[in-house]
């Protein structure tokens, strides 16, 4: 109950009250309260405290992959990459690390590597967001056929997804 109350206080912007709830929850060994307290630290612009709080959760958590993934939100790019590599080692079927790594590769203008990273995740999970992102990456490198293929696959999952419909239309107009 204290953890839930802390979440409500966060939603209302009452961060000090939320922190009090999370600290009280931790005193009665509610391990997940570390995550809430980390969020409070982050919202107070104290990323280091948020990172440290998530480190405490990692030390105690049974599902460490989830905790590493969450901690990755509270650190710099290099540490984020390290945490997400650990997530993939612990649970290779979690898709967020693949998406993040692909975005970083794309930012670094390593388009083919970014597409390959998304392809690794799509191989085990034809996720709508992964397909959409890979279609956009294909469009970026001028691979109209690849972009159309991924748009069609994504639209088979959600035929009314507006952004994918727009991407499909735009790419289709580029088809020779």
So what's the pLDDT on residue 31?
A: 87
Contact 35, 50 (CB under 8 A): no
So what's the pLDDT on residue 79?
A: 93
Candidates 176, 137, 135; CA nearest to 156 is: 135
List pLDDT tens digits, range 27-50.
998 988 999 999 999 999 999 999
Is this structure's pTM higher than 0.85? no
Q: What is the rounded CA–CA span in Å between residue 93 and residue 54?
A: 22
Share of the chain above pLDDT 70, in %: 100
Per-residue pLDDT band at 77 (split at 50, 70, 90):
confident
List pLDDT tens digits, range 79-91.
999 999 999 999 9
Q: What is the rounded CA–CA span in Å between residue 84 and residue 71?
A: 9
Q: Is the pLDDT of residue 176 over 80?
A: no
Q: Is 28 exposed, middle or buried (0-12, 13-18, 19+ CB in 10 A)?
A: exposed
For residues 55-76, average pLDDT: 93
Question: 1-20 as b/e, with b when 16 or more CB fall inside 10 Å?
Answer: ebbebbbebbeeeebebbbb
Per-residue pLDDT band at 121 (split at 50, 70, 90):
very high
So what's the pLDDT on residue 74?
A: 93
Q: Is the pLDDT of residue 120 over 80?
A: yes
Q: What is the rounded CA–CA span in Å between residue 32 and residue 22?
A: 9
Contact 3, 21 (CB under 8 A): yes
Helices (H), the chain: 2-11, 15-27, 33-43, 47-60, 64-71, 77-90, 96-107, 111-122, 128-140, 144-157, 162-172
So what's the pLDDT on residue 175?
A: 76
Q: Is the pLDDT of residue 163 over 80?
A: yes
For residues 21-26, average pLDDT: 95
Per-residue pLDDT band at 148 (split at 50, 70, 90):
very high
Which residue pairs, CB below 8 angstroms and at least 24 apart, start in 157-165? 157/126, 157/128, 157/131, 158/128, 161/128, 161/132, 163/132, 164/128, 164/131, 164/132, 164/135
Give the chain's domains with CATH numbers: 1-75 (1.25.40.10), 95-176 (1.25.40.10)
């Amino acid at each position: 109950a204290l953890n839930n109350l802390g979440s409500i206080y966060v939603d209302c912007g009452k961060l000090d009250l939320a922190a009090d709830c999370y600290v009280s929850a931790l005193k009665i060994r509610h391990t997940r309260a570390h995550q809430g307290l980390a969020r409070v630290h982050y919202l107070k612009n104290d990323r280091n405290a948020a990172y440290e709080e998530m480190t405490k959760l990692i030390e105690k958590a049974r599902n460490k992959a989830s905790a590493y993934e969450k901690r990755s939100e509270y650190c710099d790019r290099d540490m984020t990459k390290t945490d997400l590599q650990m997530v993939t080692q612990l649970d290779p079927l979690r898709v967020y690390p693949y998406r993040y790594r692909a975005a970083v590769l794309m930012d670094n203008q390593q388009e083919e590597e970014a597409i390959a990273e998304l392809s690794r995740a799509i191989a085990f999970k034809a996720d709508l967001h992964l397909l959409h992102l890979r279609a956009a990456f294909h469009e970026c490198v001028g691979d109209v056929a690849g972009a159309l293929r991924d748009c069609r696959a994504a639209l088979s999952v959600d035929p009314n997804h507006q952004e994918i419909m727009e991407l499909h239309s735009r790419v289709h107009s580029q088809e020779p």
